[in-house]
Structure 1
Amino acid sequence: MGEFRPVPDVLAYLSGHWRVERTVRDLAVGDRGRFEGTTVFGPLEGGGLLHRESGTFTWRGVARPAERTLRFLPGPGGTAHVRFADGRPFHDLDLTTGRHVVGHPCAADLYRGEFTVRDEDHWRTVWRVRGPAKDLELTTGYARVG
């Protein structure tokens, strides 16, 4: 496990501003896209963090504004319960070993995510999405700002 940095409290680690770079690959047809922007993990009323991501997503040569919001709620032992903006469950997040693998079924598709922490200021996610209409890989690098 030497390549991953253990995180005893995921909410404390994530709190703050992050620069985000994401590549999106459509493995079925070979298209590639890119998202560049920022993510802010700020205090959430009642406890936890509100994750706000905003930036520009470029797909097939067309750049568009993109954003998303998630809620990171306190879990046991320094973990978190991740929820969509509307409160629906997404996945749990346990970075106590510096690495966590999750699955999330979404309609007929299955999302498999791997979260890894490199150091105090860098972490990444890799989501693999498979289903009847999707065959995607999304790789996101986060670098702390400030």
Structure 2
Amino acid sequence: MNRAAHDPVPVSDAAPHPVPDVVAYLSGRWTVDRTLLDLATGAQGTFHGTAEFRAAGDGARVLHVEQGELTWNGSVNRAGRTLGLLPRPDGTAEVTFADGRPFHDLDLRTGRWTARHPCARDLYDGTFTVVSPDEWHLRWYATGPAKDQLHRSVYRRQAEGA
């Protein structure tokens, strides 16, 4: 299926907002609004929740913890995930799964980053775009024998105390 036909909104038409230190930028709480589309079946879903980027107990990593509600095929369920970020001195980071396995690098110094992650026989292509000091977008396109999916997320910084 042609993914462009199912993703009419570009990653972002705005000039990307450069971020010299990805961990400093991401630290704090964000709202997350995500649309999910299975391109093979046409099934659609949404995720609405929060993402928090906070120091891990080990002092070396930052945890990315998402929690919210996933609506899929008429069902609404609690959903979440945890990733790790290992900051580097140059302002970039290595993103890992919760168990420490490598996921992808993240470099937002130009305001935009593309990542690729092979998962078994599937392939995940991600595009990160920072549109302002308080908003960034993430698009994952997953293809392979088990997947043909498009996930689009908008992260907005929460005001302190919200």
**Are the aligned partners of 1:111 and 1:127 in contact in 2 as well (CA < 8 Å)?**
yes
Task: State the 1:2 CA deviation.
Answer: 6.4
1:69 and 1:93 map into 2 onto residues whose CA distance is 16
Question: For structure 1, which segment, 127-136 or 38-47, has the greater mean C-alpha deviation from structure 2 after superposition?
Answer: 38-47
Q: Which runs of 5+ in 2 are unaligned?
A: 1-12
Q: Report the TM-score, using the length of structure 2 for normalisation.
A: 0.88
Q: What is the distance in 1 between the residues matched to 2:33 and 2:133?
A: 17
Match of 2:64 among 51, 54, 76: 51
* Aligned partner of residue 11 in structure 1, secondary structure: helix
> C-alpha distance in 2, partners of 1:81/1:70?
10
Report how far residue 29 of structure 1 moved. Answer: 1.0
Tell me the percent identity. 53
Distance (Å, rounded) in 2 between the aligned partners of 1:2 and 1:136: 25
Q: Give the match for residue 104 of structure 2.
A: 91
The match for 1:74 is 87
After TM superposition, give the deviation of residue 74 of structure 1 in Å: 0.8
Query: Which runs of 5 or more residues in structure 1 are unaligned?
Result: none
The 5-angstrom pairing of residues 29-40 of structure 1 reads 29-40=41-52
Asked if 1:144 is matched to 2:157, the reply is yes
Stretches (4+) displaced over 2 A: 45-48
State the alpha-carbon separation in 1 of the partners of residues 146 and 61 from structure 2: 34
What SS is found at the alignment partner of 1:6? coil
Q: Secondary structure at the match of 2:16?
A: coil
* Residue of structure 1 in register with 2:143 after alignment: 130
C-alpha RMSD over aligned residues: 1.2
Alpha-carbon distance in 2 for matches of 1:78, 1:145 = 23
1:16-75: CA deviations, max 9, x gaps?
A: 000000000001111100000000001122223111100000001100000100001112
- Which structure features the higher share of strand residues? 1
TM-score between the two structures when normalised by the length of structure 1: 0.97
Distance 2:14 2:74 in 1: 39
